[in-house]
Structure 1
């Protein structure tokens, strides 16, 4: 098994129910005033959800809201040290300095794409030390937020503690965003390989970025290998799953059309139906199904996995659901299919252009 496969938090590493300082004061910790956190703190203050004008009822509501939202993080033994905050934020991260010292250029993976994609990938790559520091700081901030969250009490709401929790979570998100920005080009290089007529680059890119964020939140920075090793596996697996799942759904739909004697040629199957034509075809099919009686409509939808039904059911299962014999279900299915064929002829579905 490779390192990426082993990157699953063990019971001693997982997040939210682990060792934390037993008592935390309801005031802002001194290390939060570190110069290393100035930019992250400005980000947190701009999006704060705790107002200084909150009355007691609002504080109680916010306290209950925070208590329902457990904070997940990857723990580390050193984070339980009372002086951990001061030590973690004492070393300069120097993201701006490394950006000035490097040339801003568009990566080869997006060189032939629209300019706004290139701008998304111009963030300077992180050094191993910067990457480790960002992950450590993000998880430490989340662990401190969880420690404060556990001490909330709706009967004695504390605005100061709520502000501290809110700021800690926001600052952790600021560090997460830096990690995401620095690894966007990895997403571009991977999802480009999965683009096909049925899956646009923009769609796969959106899913890939979500997978990247998830990978950042679950990565254990203390395993000793680079984040890209783990993220590559997560993003590639996510893109593959997206493509395969949609292809399976499309094949099931095409199979249903063939069973209704609709002409779906190999040429049509290999090309992509435009979105507009696809919705029009589905709309017409739904109108035809609405003309069947309740049992016939149910049988057709379940036999061909249409609508909310994600599984093709057997005749025996439908017989049990409808309280009739298996042969009666087969007769009802045949009658419904005959009706649909007649509707197809009457509606002249041949005028529906299924080509691109």
Structure 2
């Protein structure tokens, strides 16, 4: 049985205009949605979708407005203007191979990383043939295009329960096809992110980010350009992993710099030993506790001056003075007072014990 992935909103760079005559499109389930090729996808959708038969008029209006606020993006294709495309697309069998446990076990062994065996279940889907890959991408984007067409016909003043249910089903069916592509390419994520693992970047974190990048790549891939998805996905996942590693390193450097400016004893040797994630998180935790003992303005100034927490850049004294409505000299005094408090608290906290753990 296929592993179900959490639905994610589609993202794309190309959209298509509604089909000619779309304003006359009836709010009813097209016959091709009942074709055998969609049995598995429809069965999964039945377990996810909530019928709207009992919804009140106000509830339908609310859902209509909410749906109109949510864009449905997809990769367009000239063939989508064919009114009989649905029948053609789902007439040809996809013939997906069943999942194999041995594929997951092999992926774990090849990774060379000590990880829970259950992660191998993510890699049990066989690779897709070029023809299967093409069909899945075309079907996924066609289903989203059909949902976008019906969305364009929604009217909050006269909400249509049937049309809302149809849009929900089309999106759910598109997600099913997207998930089959994602599952078949998860081994690619394993093979790429393992190369970025180091003491500061765990395999689990990189794998999670890599899967998100893979889903994003599926939603942006133009299936009609004539090359394999893995070529595009490899670049997306590798670039995402590199960015994750660099951003985490920059965050650590900023925090270490802030601790040094507070005269905490962090020698070069100490910083090397702080590579341990456990020690590093404990040190940051203690710093957070000390910051919480400052008053509101002092805490804000220290975080802004050393780019801690939500602050992504170092703020100048003048910019903080403008934010707080005080003089630049007053901000300097508050910063000095906060630093004195932190030094005193650092003296009470035995930071040296972190170096011996």
Q: Same fold (TM over 0.5)?
A: yes
* Alpha-carbon offset, residue 238 of structure 1: 1.1
Give CA-to-partner distance per residue, 1:127-167, whole Å, 9 cap, x none.
00100000000000010111111112233222222221111
- Mapped partners of 2:186, 2:28: distance in 1: 37
Between stretches 169-178 and 303-312, larger displacement belongs to 303-312
* Alpha-carbon offset, residue 237 of structure 1: 1.2
Q: Structure 1 143/281 Cα, relative in aligned 2: closer, same or farther at 3 Å?
A: same
Which residue is equivalent to 1:164?
A: 166
8 Å contact kept, 2:72–2:148: yes
* Alpha-carbon offset, residue 302 of structure 1: 1.9
8 Å contact kept, 1:21–1:147: no
Which residue is equivalent to 2:110?
A: 109
8 Å contact kept, 2:28–2:166: yes
8 Å contact kept, 1:277–1:353: yes
8 Å contact kept, 2:75–2:141: yes
Give CA-to-partner distance per residue, 1:236-287, whole Å, 9 cap, x none.
1111111111111111111111112212132332345666654543444344
Which residue is equivalent to 2:152?
A: 150
Between stretches 280-289 and 42-51, larger displacement belongs to 280-289
8 Å contact kept, 1:302–1:311: yes
**Equivalences for 1:60-79 in 2 at 5 Å?**
60-79=61-80
8 Å contact kept, 1:50–1:166: no
Task: Check if 1:30 corresponds to 2:31.
Answer: yes
- Mapped partners of 2:164, 2:297: distance in 1: 56
Unmatched 5+ stretches in structure 1? 1-7
**TM-score, length-normalised on structure 1?**
0.86
Between stretches 135-144 and 272-281, larger displacement belongs to 272-281
Between stretches 16-25 and 305-314, larger displacement belongs to 16-25
8 Å contact kept, 1:195–1:204: yes
| Matched pairs, number | 343
What CA RMSD, in Å, does the superposition of the two structures yield over aligned residues? Answer: 2.8
Which residue is equivalent to 1:125?
A: 127
Which residue is equivalent to 1:236?
A: 238
Structure 2 SS opposite 1:353: helix
